[in-house]
């Protein structure tokens, strides 16, 4: 009885461990090779967000905020560039010129940037 | 039955070894069949060790006194939960518990990562199963829990009843304290295995950290809980009111806890900035090896200790395992240094980064001081031949200043911004905490508190508590202002957004509260008096009157008991009944201490025994100020740790770079 | 001698406690000092306290009492290692460790100092930076 149980235990253990069918084999992992860059990107975004929050809370001086923000953005841009390189995508187009606050047509000044001139109605950009 | 248990253990050992070989060869030769069977072997090991443990438990509970393990650690009179606890009450059984927990952890790891980390998993499994094989080897070939009593060859003796568990250990926390500690000890094998595997396979990122983050926190929590339960047990049971004696075995549990705490902090440097990668490797490996080292200290009899199991020959196996493991890990780290290069630099010396450096320094210094004190007697005897004692006065003198500095850093760290902080913002941030802490110190000193460490400690506690509360207040104010919620909802929202940070602050708060409790020890008072019926005595503002002294006996033990009427300021506030028992089976006396627990102080009465002429009772009375705050601090710490484990609210919503072509498409990243 | 007639529980005057705190209880089961060992009939602490009481009754100073224990039991009679000789290492090493740690931090800061360190992040020129930055800024506005 005891002997039978021992044999059963042994055979069961061996069978379970060694009997691997084809369908038990794992599917190939679709590793891209740049997960760590994606991960870094996410982390830097997270730090940027955190920085903004701390600034809003009043834990940072303006100067500290600006320096750190620039540093983080540079780091992030570098990571994104690297990612684009690996993924074979082109970097983003140069940013569109910012909407101005002086109308190029009639010359009226506005306190903030606008798309259309409030005086002459023409496009400001 | 016991033969079946032995067979299961031997099989488990073989499968653990097989798992290592199959995983590694499968990876090396790229044979997925082998790696899969290596994974399955992990489940098999778990099943087999569970079976062996089940058989041992059955023997313990059913009372199979042919087994020497059962007879030495249980008897018929014991309650069933203590019979269960006998599983880890002795050397052999506790080794089996180690093996069981590790096999369970390994099975969980293999299952949850079965489709992930194709590269790393064979190595993770190898590290786990090598450690498992080591413990199974001890349990199979060196100290089997299934050993039977033999009189002559093949003549098995049934003793009929056993010696029972030490009555001091028959207390509820003792049922959960050891397994909690073991859950902690064993659990650190997993992050170590991932770190090791990541290093061997030269992973570019630090996926091992993200994967094992929760694991590390939970393991840390188990260990903290185990340590606190042990302290609570000592306080309530041993009769001298202490909760920590700097005993080598207690120290052994503290060492990996300290390095793990350091790791939990410094790992943030790696996550945020990709720095200190080598150091984090060192810390997690150190934690793992200190866990093994702690297990070794407890069992080898190298240092004398209250807790130690009977001396045995297994020390040399541990030394070999540690030597090979540490040498291998050091070699691997040195060999892979170029994969552990920093990705960034320090923007400023005045930054959160630097505060983490100091935090790590101080934690490691205290770890070293404790280790040094624990091993110094051994070292001294080896070098000079002099036996020396390293007791509480040594540890207190070294560790109190270190601990206070650590408390200070707890307050400072969170106030310094990551990357760069200017003096201006620091001045603003530190103003109120410093003012409050300093005023408390001045106030206490004026109020007559003369104990310098206690003053500093209370001041720092308030300082840290203020910084933590300010963090919560400022953050929730910003949120409630923006979202129009009230402050409480703002605080919840704040915590939910970054559970790890704000949970961490709650943990800090728990530590502060515990420090308040520790500091109370500076004001302990005690008195030992011989009393007869009607005797009256005073201790620390309490007036004690011995109303009666009774005795009696039952099947299990004989007892003496004093009924003490306690009054304060002329008002009777209660009756306390300290008791002393003499257990018949083990001839061992125990104290049933009477404790009046209050938030400001505990009144603690211990019936120490009868006087030499057997006419009077000897009562030791103690007043322990603030001691309850240690246990309260633990609950706060527990809550904070649980908060850390809650997944944060969806963290980031950012547009993928527009080049992908779908401008403004939102990618949601959950972590 | 009056003190010998006293029972063990009364043998714990503040004076005895003060001296006892410097002596280890060597009974083998506890890690206490002679000053605070709570075991009533401790086979080490009880005679030790009696001895302290006896010597104090003779007017012996603390140091002499401690010395007499060391003569009898060796250095292990002390509850903390002496500060001289080899045992001095026990006291010095933790602080040496902190000192070494401070040096390590100094070196670390030197190595990764902003002015000296070369950033590990890949280099990026200002024109490309501007392109990415526009996107990052846009994303940041959405972050809360």
DSSP B199-245: HHTT-SS-HHHHHHHHHHHHHHHHHHHHHHHHHHHHHHHSSS--S--
Q: Quick one: pLDDT at residue C5?
A: 35
User: C112, C117, C124: which to substitute to probe chain A, counting the most A Cβ within 10 Å?
Assistant: C124
Determine whether the interchain pair C132/A82 forms a contact, defined as Cβ–Cβ distance below 8 Å.
Answer: no
Could you give the 3-state DSSP secondary structure of residue C112?
coil
Determine whether the interchain pair A49/C134 forms a contact, defined as Cβ–Cβ distance below 8 Å.
Answer: no
State the nearest Cα–Cα gap between A110 and chain C, in angstroms: 23
Which H or E run includes A44? helix A35-57
Q: Does C26 touch chain B (CB under 8 A)?
A: yes
What does the longest C-alpha to C-alpha distance in chain C come to?
Answer: 96
Torsion angle of C-alpha atoms A102, A107, A110, A111, degrees rounded to 10: 60
Determine whether the interchain pair A77/C132 forms a contact, defined as Cβ–Cβ distance below 8 Å.
Answer: yes
Q: Does B416 touch chain A (CB under 8 A)?
A: no
**Angstrom distance (rounded) from CA B107 to CA B110:** 5
Determine the topology of domain C2-77 in CATH: Helicase, Ruva Protein; domain 3 (1.10.8)
Q: Chain B residues with CB inside 8 Å of C76's CB?
A: 377, 386-389
Q: Does A75 touch chain C (CB under 8 A)?
A: yes
- From residue B86, how far is each of B176, B183, B623 by CA, in Å? 12, 17, 34
- From residue B375, how far is each of A11, B147, B292, B577, B645 by CA, in Å? 48, 33, 15, 41, 36
Determine whether the interchain pair A60/B7 forms a contact, defined as Cβ–Cβ distance below 8 Å.
Answer: no
**What sections of B345-418 are H helices per DSSP?**
352-384, 392-412
Q: Quick one: pLDDT at residue B256?
A: 95
Q: What are phi and psi of B140, to 5 degrees?
A: -95, -50
Q: What is the SS3 string spanning B577-600?
A: CCEEEEECCCCCEEEECEEEECCC
Considering Cα of C70, then C76, then C79, then C82, what sign does the dihedral take?
A: positive
How many CB contacts within 8 angstroms connect chain B with chain C? 164
Domain identity same for A116 and A83:
no
Q: Complex ipTM, two decimals?
A: 0.84
- Minimal Cα distance from B44: which residue of A? A13
Determine whether the interchain pair B48/A46 forms a contact, defined as Cβ–Cβ distance below 8 Å.
Answer: no
**Angstrom distance (rounded) from CA B302 to CA B377:** 10
**Angstrom distance (rounded) from CA B43 to CA B107:** 6
Q: How many CA atoms lie within 13 A of B349 on its CB side?
A: 10
**Angstrom distance (rounded) from CA B439 to CA C92:** 34
**Angstrom distance (rounded) from CA B199 to CA B47:** 30
Burial profile B380-394: b = 16 or more Cβ within 10 angstroms, e = fewer: beeeeebebbbbbbb
**Angstrom distance (rounded) from CA B74 to CA B84:** 9
Which H or E run includes B187? helix B172-187
Ranges of each domain in chain C: 2-77, 85-142
- Residue B368 near residue C94 (C-beta atoms within 8 A): yes
Of the candidates C15, C16, C46, C6, the one whose C-alpha atom is nearest the C-alpha of residue B616 is C6
Domain identity same for A53 and A86:
yes
Considering only residues B607 and C132, tell me which one the structure prediction assigns the higher pLDDT. Answer: B607
Subunits close to B (at least 3 CB pairs below 8 A): A, C
Let me know if residue A49 belongs to a domain.
yes
Which H or E run includes B282? helix B277-300
Subunits close to A (at least 3 CB pairs below 8 A): B, C
- Residue B525 near residue B540 (C-beta atoms within 8 A): yes
State the nearest Cα–Cα gap between A71 and chain B, in angstroms: 9
State the nearest Cα–Cα gap between A108 and chain B, in angstroms: 33
Q: Quick one: pLDDT at residue B416?
A: 86
Determine whether the interchain pair B653/C94 forms a contact, defined as Cβ–Cβ distance below 8 Å.
Answer: no
**Angstrom distance (rounded) from CA C70 to CA C65:** 9
Determine whether the interchain pair C133/A77 forms a contact, defined as Cβ–Cβ distance below 8 Å.
Answer: yes
Query: Smallest Cβ distance to B204: which of A36, A60, A84?
Result: A36
Domain containing residue A102: 95-125
Subunits close to C (at least 3 CB pairs below 8 A): A, B
Considering Cα of B361, then B372, then C91, then C89, what sign does the dihedral take?
A: negative
- Minimal Cα distance from B4: which residue of A? A6
Ranges of each domain in chain B: 1-170, 246-419, 422-498+648-669, 523-628
Domain identity same for A87 and A101:
no
Q: Chain B residues with CB inside 8 Å of A49's CB?
A: 651-652
Residues 6+ apart with CB under 8 A from A76: A41, A44, A45, A48, C132, C136
Q: What are phi and psi of B419, to 5 degrees?
A: 75, -55
- Minimal Cα distance from C132: which residue of A? A77
Q: Chain A residues with CB inside 8 Å of B658's CB?
A: 92-93
Across residues A18-35, what is the average pLDDT? Answer: 74
Query: Smallest Cβ distance to C98: which of B361, B390, B612?
Result: B361
Give the DSSP letter of residue B526. E
User: A26, A69, A83: which to substitute to probe chain B, counting the most B Cβ within 10 Å?
Assistant: A26
Determine whether the interchain pair B346/C10 forms a contact, defined as Cβ–Cβ distance below 8 Å.
Answer: no
Determine whether the interchain pair B304/C76 forms a contact, defined as Cβ–Cβ distance below 8 Å.
Answer: no
Q: Does B382 touch chain A (CB under 8 A)?
A: no
Which residues of chain B are under the pLDDT cut of 70?
A: 152-154, 301-312, 650-671
Q: Does C9 touch chain B (CB under 8 A)?
A: yes
Determine whether the interchain pair B391/C80 forms a contact, defined as Cβ–Cβ distance below 8 Å.
Answer: yes
Of the candidates C43, C9, C10, C138, the one whose C-alpha atom is nearest the C-alpha of residue B664 is C138
Let me know if residue A100 belongs to a domain.
yes
First vs last C-alpha separation in chain A: 92
Residues pairing with B666 in the sheet: B655
Q: Does B11 touch chain A (CB under 8 A)?
A: yes
pLDDT tens-digit readout, C21-30: 888 888 777 7
Domain identity same for A78 and A118:
no
Determine whether the interchain pair C132/B358 forms a contact, defined as Cβ–Cβ distance below 8 Å.
Answer: no
Give the DSSP letter of residue B339. G
Considering only residues B654 and A95, tell me which one the structure prediction assigns the higher pLDDT. Answer: A95
Determine whether the interchain pair B387/C74 forms a contact, defined as Cβ–Cβ distance below 8 Å.
Answer: yes
Q: Quick one: pLDDT at residue A30?
A: 66
Domain identity same for A107 and A79:
no
Q: Does C66 touch chain B (CB under 8 A)?
A: no
Q: Chain C residues with CB inside 8 Å of B245's CB?
A: 30-32
Per-residue pLDDT band for A52 (boundaries 50, 70, 90) equals: confident
Query: Smallest Cβ distance to C114: which of B275, B341, B347?
Result: B347
Determine whether the interchain pair C75/B365 forms a contact, defined as Cβ–Cβ distance below 8 Å.
Answer: no
Q: Quick one: pLDDT at residue B420?
A: 79
Determine whether the interchain pair C31/B392 forms a contact, defined as Cβ–Cβ distance below 8 Å.
Answer: yes
How many CB contacts within 8 angstroms connect chain A with chain C? 56
State the nearest Cα–Cα gap between B2 and chain C, in angstroms: 34
Q: Quick one: pLDDT at residue B3?
A: 85
Q: Chain B residues with CB inside 8 Å of A70's CB?
A: none
Domain identity same for A85 and A54:
yes
Of the candidates C81, C68, C80, C69, the one whose C-alpha atom is nearest the C-alpha of residue C33 is C80
**Angstrom distance (rounded) from CA B298 to CA B362:** 26
């Amino acid at each position: 009885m005891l002997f039978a149980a021992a044999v059963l235990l042994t055979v069961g253990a061996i069978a379970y461990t060694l009997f691997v069918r084809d369908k038990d084999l794992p599917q190939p992992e679709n590793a891209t090779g740049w997960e760590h860059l994606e991960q870094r990107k996410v982390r830097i975004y997270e730090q940027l967000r955190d920085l903004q929050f701390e600034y809003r809370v009043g834990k940072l001086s303006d100067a500290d905020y600006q320096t750190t923000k620039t540093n983080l953005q540079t780091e992030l841009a570098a990571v994104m560039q690297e990612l684009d390189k690996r993924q074979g995508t082109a970097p983003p187009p140069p940013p569109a010129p910012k909407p101005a606050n002086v109308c190029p047509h009639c010359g009226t000044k506005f306190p903030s940037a606008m798309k259309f001139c409030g005086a002459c109605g023409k496009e400001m950009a | 039955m016991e033969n079946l248990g032995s067979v299961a253990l031997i099989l488990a050992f073989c499968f653990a070894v097989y798992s290592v070989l199959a995983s590694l060869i499968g990876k090396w030769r790229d044979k997925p069949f082998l790696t899969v069977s290596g994974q399955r072997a992990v489940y098999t090991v778990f099943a087999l060790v569970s079976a062996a443990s089940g058989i041992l438990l059955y023997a313990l509970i059913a009372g199979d006194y042919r087994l020497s393990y059962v007879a030495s650690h249980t008897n018929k009179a014991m309650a069933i939960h203590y019979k269960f606890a006998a599983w880890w009450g002795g050397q052999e059984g506790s080794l089996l518990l180690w093996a069981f927990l590790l096999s369970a952890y390994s099975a969980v790891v293999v299952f949850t990562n079965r489709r992930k980390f194709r590269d790393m998993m064979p190595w993770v499994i190898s590290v786990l199963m090598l450690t498992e094989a080591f413990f199974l080897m001890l349990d199979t070939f060196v100290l089997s829990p299934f050993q039977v009593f033999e009189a002559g060859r093949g003549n098995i003796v049934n003793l009929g009843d056993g010696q029972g568990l030490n009555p001091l250990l028959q207390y509820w926390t003792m049922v959960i304290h050891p397994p909690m500690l073991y859950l902690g000890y064993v659990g650190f094998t997993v992050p170590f295995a991932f770190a090791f595997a990541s290093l061997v396979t030269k992973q570019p990122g630090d996926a091992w950290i993200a994967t094992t983050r929760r694991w590390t926190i939970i393991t840390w929590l188990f260990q903290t809980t185990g340590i606190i339960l042990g302290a609570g047990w000592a306080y309530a049971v041993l009769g001298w009111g202490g909760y920590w004696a700097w005993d080598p075995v207690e120290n052994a549990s503290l060492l990996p806890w300290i390095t793990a705490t350091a790791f939990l902090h410094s790992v943030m440097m790696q996550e945020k900035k990709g720095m200190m990668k080598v150091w984090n490797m060192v810390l997690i490996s150190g934690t793992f090896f200190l866990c093994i080292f702690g297990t070794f200290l407890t069992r080898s009899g190298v240092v004398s200790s209250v807790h130690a199991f009977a001396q045995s020959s297994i020390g040399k196996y541990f030394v070999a395992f540690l030597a090979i493991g540490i040498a291998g890990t050091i070699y691997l780290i040195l060999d892979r240094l170029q994969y552990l290069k920093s990705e960034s630099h320090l923007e400023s010396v005045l930054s959160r980064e630097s505060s983490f450096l100091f935090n790590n320094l101080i934690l490691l210094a205290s770890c070293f001081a404790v280790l040094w004190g624990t091993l110094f007697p051994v070292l001294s005897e080896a070098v000079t031949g002099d036996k020396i004692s390293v007791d509480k006065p040594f540890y207190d003198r070294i560790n109190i200043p270190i601990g206070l500095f650590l408390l200070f850093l707890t307050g400072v760290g969170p106030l310094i911004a990551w990357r760069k902080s200017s003096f201006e913002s620091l001045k603003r941030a530190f103003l109120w905490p410093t003012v409050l802490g300093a005023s408390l110190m001045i106030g206490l000193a004026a109020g007559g508190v003369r104990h310098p460490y206690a003053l500093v400690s209370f001041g720092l506690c308030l300082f840290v508590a203020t910084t933590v509360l300010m963090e919560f207040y400022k953050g929730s104010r910003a949120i409630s202002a923006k979202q129009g919620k009230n402050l409480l909802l703002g605080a919840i929202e704040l915590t939910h957004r970054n559970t790890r940070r704000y949970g961490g602050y709650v943990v800090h708060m728990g530590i502060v509260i515990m420090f308040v409790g520790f500091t109370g020890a500076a004001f302990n008072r005690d008195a030992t008096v011989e009393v007869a019926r009607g005797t009256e005595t005073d201790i620390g503002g309490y007036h004690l009157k011995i109303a009666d002294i009774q005795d009696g006996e039952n099947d299990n033990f004989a007892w003496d008991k004093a009924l003490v009427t306690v009054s304060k300021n002329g008002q009777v506030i209660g009756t306390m009944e300290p008791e002393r028992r003499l257990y018949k089976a083990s001839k061992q006396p125990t104290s049933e201490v009477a404790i009046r627990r209050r938030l400001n102080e505990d009144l603690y009465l211990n019936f120490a025994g009868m006087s030499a002429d057997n006419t009077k009772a000897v009562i030791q009375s103690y007043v322990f100020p603030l001691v309850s705050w240690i246990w309260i601090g633990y609950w706060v710490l527990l809550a904070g740790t649980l908060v850390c484990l809650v997944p944060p609210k969806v963290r980031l919503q950012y547009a993928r770079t527009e080049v992908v072509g779908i401008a403004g498409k939102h990618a949601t990243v959950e972590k | 001698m009056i003190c010998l007639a006293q029972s063990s529980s009364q043998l714990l005057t503040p004076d005895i406690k003060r001296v006892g705190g410097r002596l280890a209880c060597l009974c083998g089961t506890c890690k206490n000092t002679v000053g605070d060992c709570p075991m009533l009939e401790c086979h080490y602490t009880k005679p030790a306290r009696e001895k302290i009481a006896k010597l104090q009754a003779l007017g012996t100073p603390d140091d002499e009492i401690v010395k007499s224990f060391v003569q009898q039991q060796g250095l292990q009679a002390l509850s903390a290692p002496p500060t001289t000789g080899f045992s001095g290492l026990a006291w010095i090493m933790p602080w040496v460790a902190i000192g070494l740690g401070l040096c390590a931090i100094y070196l670390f800061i030197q190595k990764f100092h902003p002015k000296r360190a070369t950033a590990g992040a890949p280099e990026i020129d200002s024109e490309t930076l501007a392109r990415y930055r526009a996107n990052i800024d846009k994303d940041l506005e959405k972050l809360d």
